[in-house]
Amino acid sequence: MALWFAAHLVPWMHFSGNGLHIVACDNIAVLRKLSRDPLFQHDSRADQVHGLVNLMDEARHAPENLANPPPILLLYGANDQVIPAKPTEAVITALGGTLPRLWLN
């Protein structure tokens, strides 16, 4: 509800990931380079976050509407701190159980 209100009452309000203690990448050199890049988006408006959350919710429930899912390549990082594992596992289950896994280091 708070995100809906923010997106509709103050859509220009900016949010960032500061303070969340989430690391988007394990390559420190890349993170440093992105932090200095003036073209990199360092924060998002409330309406952008609202749209992304709605898109993620639709993606989470999309497999329930597929009668015969086509072959799917689903890539998910084993150490992903941005996309939660539980909804990803729920999508895999909704697609028909377990998918073969390939672990890369």
In terms of pLDDT, which residue wins out, 58 or 83? 58
Could you tell me the pLDDT band of residue 98, with boundaries at 50, 70 and 90? Answer: low
Checking if the pLDDT of 105 tops 80, the result is: no
User: What's the structural domain count of the chain?
Assistant: 1
Predicted local confidence at residue 76, as pLDDT? 82
53 lies in some domain: yes
Range of the domain at 65: 2-70
Q: Which of 18-32, 33-47, 87-101 has the highest mean pLDDT?
A: 33-47
Q: Which of 12-26, 28-42, 55-69, 79-93 has the highest mean pLDDT?
A: 28-42
Give the span between the Cα atoms of 82 and 33, in whole angstroms: 19
80 lies in some domain: no
CA dihedral defined by 10, 44, 82, 59, rounded to 10 degrees?
Answer: 70
27 lies in some domain: yes
